[in-house]
Structure formats: structure tokens, C-alpha cells
């Protein structure tokens, strides 16, 4: 059976949620962040050398990196669900969002959390990060204008992958400044499969961010 190596309050929530959406059986192996540093325990490095969450193991395979994991689950277990057909233009957009989430959108979010702690002499860097963050959140917000999902009427695994960006953003900016993004993430969080993943994964503080 597929195992989700799940760190509390982390990106791996998305993987449990996707599996719940698909009705694919899985089990969760829980890992706890260090209370002081927030880092994953060393035991996760025994599963994959990077020791970051999420990781899945399945039928002798070990897959790390959330976009790659989502692609793996959709290809091997999805039976054509939650993805556009590969020959369509929608599929090109779907792949864009799968990569964009961690390849581009996450960086200003991580930077913002870090530079917030720096003193005033770092103001030029803080301004740059704030401007980049606004660029990305505005882009996502505009892309959702015709919603309700990233691909319009079609809910896909790209919404699952991108959800983490909106949830972290709620900790760093006023989500009311990005109304389409705010409506979208509330819609996603209300899905029964999302709620079931919170139940199986344990406390997920980001599910409450923005309330």
C-alpha cells in the first residue's frame, strides 16, 4: 500500500488530500517537527536523503518533491481523474501550475517569512521581496478570475498542488487583497476530501490560516 511520509503542519497534507480525492488506499507514517527548530527529524533521511516532506513510498519506489509525487499518483493511480487529457491545451496549463507552485511561487513566500525578521538596514531587500510576492499573488488571483478553479470549471490536482501557496500567503499578507485567491482557497478547504486529510494527517494549522 502507498505510504505518505507525513510531517506535521507541512506540504504533505496535500498528498493525503489528493489520495482522499481519488479514493486511493494509503497509510500515513507520522513524523514530528523539532519543537525548537521546526526541522524534520533525522529519521526522514532514512526514507530519502533530503529528509523533506512529502515523500511517498509505493511498491518499492520512493518519490520525493510534491510536484513529482502528485504527477506520480495521477499517472499510476489516477485512472485519468483530476487531470486534463495530455493532448489538450488545458494539460499544458496544468503542468505549468504543477511546476510553478514550488519552482517560482514558493520562493518569495519563504523569503518573506525570513526577511520579516531582519532589521531596517535590510529594507531594500524587504521591498524587493514584498514586490515579488505581490507579483506572484496578483498573477494567481488574476488567473482565478474565471474560476472557480485554476482550469476554470475543472478541479484538478494542480489546485491541490497550488493550495499550499495560498495557505502560506494567508500568514504573510492580507488575503482580502487577493479576493479570487481567497474565494478559491476557501472553496478547496471546504471539500470533504480536504477535511478527511486533516483528520487523518493530524493538526494542520494552515487549514485555519486566513480565518
Ligand X SMILES: N[C@@H](CCC(=O)N[C@@H](CS)C(=O)NCC(=O)O)C(=O)O
Binders in 96-135 for ligand X, by CB under 6 A? 102
Nearer to ligand X, 32 or 174 (CB): 32
Which one of the spans 6-14, 80-88, 140-148, 187-195 is the region binding ligand X (CB under 6 A)? 6-14
207 near ligand X (CB under 6 A): no
From the CB of 132, what's the least distance to ligand X, in Å?
18
* Burial class, 124, CB count within 10 angstroms (exposed 0-12 / middle 13-18 / buried 19+): exposed
Which one of the spans 52-60, 79-87, 145-153, 194-202 is the region binding ligand X (CB under 6 A)? 52-60
Strand order in the sheet with 26-31: 26-31, 2-7, 55-58, 61-64
How many amino acids of this chain bind ligand X (CB under 6 A)?
Answer: 11
Q: Are 164 and 125 in contact (CB under 8 A)?
A: no
Dist. CA 21–CA 18, nearest whole Å: 5
Dist. CA 94–CA 85, nearest whole Å: 10
Dist. CA 8–CA 13, nearest whole Å: 8
From the CB of 121, what's the least distance to ligand X, in Å?
28
Nearer to ligand X, 54 or 210 (CB): 54
65 near ligand X (CB under 6 A): yes
Binders in 161-200 for ligand X, by CB under 6 A? none
Which one of the spans 49-57, 113-121, 125-133, 180-188 is the region binding ligand X (CB under 6 A)? 49-57
Nearer to ligand X, 46 or 88 (CB): 46
14 near ligand X (CB under 6 A): no
Determine the distance from the C-alpha atom of residue 177 to the mean position of all C-alpha atoms in its chain, rounded to a whole number: 20
Q: Say if strands 55-58 and 26-31 run parallel, antiparallel, or are unpaired.
A: unpaired
Q: What is the DSSP letter of 41?
A: P
Residue with cell 501557496: 165
Nearer to ligand X, 20 or 167 (CB): 167
Cis peptide bond N-terminal to 54, omega within 30: yes
**H-run or E-run covering 116:** none
Single residue of 52, 112, 136, 175 touching ligand X by CB under 6 A: 52
The residues binding ligand X (CB under 6 A) are 7, 10-11, 39-40, 52-54, 65-66, 102
Amino acid at each position: 500500500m502507498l505510504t505518505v511520509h507525513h510531517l506535521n503542519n507541512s506540504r504533505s497534507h496535500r498528498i493525503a488530500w489528493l489520495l482522499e480525492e481519488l479514493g486511493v488506499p494509503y497509510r500515513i507514517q507520522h513524523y514530528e517537527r523539532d519543537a525548537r527548530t521546526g526541522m524534520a527529524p533525522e529519521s526522514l533521511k532514512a526514507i530519502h536523503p533530503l529528509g523533506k516532506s512529502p515523500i511517498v513510498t509505493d511498491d518499492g519506489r520512493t518519490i520525493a518533491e510534491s510536484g513529482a509525487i502528485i504527477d506520480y499518483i495521477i499517472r499510476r493511480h489516477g485512472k485519468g481523474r483530476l487531470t486534463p487529457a495530455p493532448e489538450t491545451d488545458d494539460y499544458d496549463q496544468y503542468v505549468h501550475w504543477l511546476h510553478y507552485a514550488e519552482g517560482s511561487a514558493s520562493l518569495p513566500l519563504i523569503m518573506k517569512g525570513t526577511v520579516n525578521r531582519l532589521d531596517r538596514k535590510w529594507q531594500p531587500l524587504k521591498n524587493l521581496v514584498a514586490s515579488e510576492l505581490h507579483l506572484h499573488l496578483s498573477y494567481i488571483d488574476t488567473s482565478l478570475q474565471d474560476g472557480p478553479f485554476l482550469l476554470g470549471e475543472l478541479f484538478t490536482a494542480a489546485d491541490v498542488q497550488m493550495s499550499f501557496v495560498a495557505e502560506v500567503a494567508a500568514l504573510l499578507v492580507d488575503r482580502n487583497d487577493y479576493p479570487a485567491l481567497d474565494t478559491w482557497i476557501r472553496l478547496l478547504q471546504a471539500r470533504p476530501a480536504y477535511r478527511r486529510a486533516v483528520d487523518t494527517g493530524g493538526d494542520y494549522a494552515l487549514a485555519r490560516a486566513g480565518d
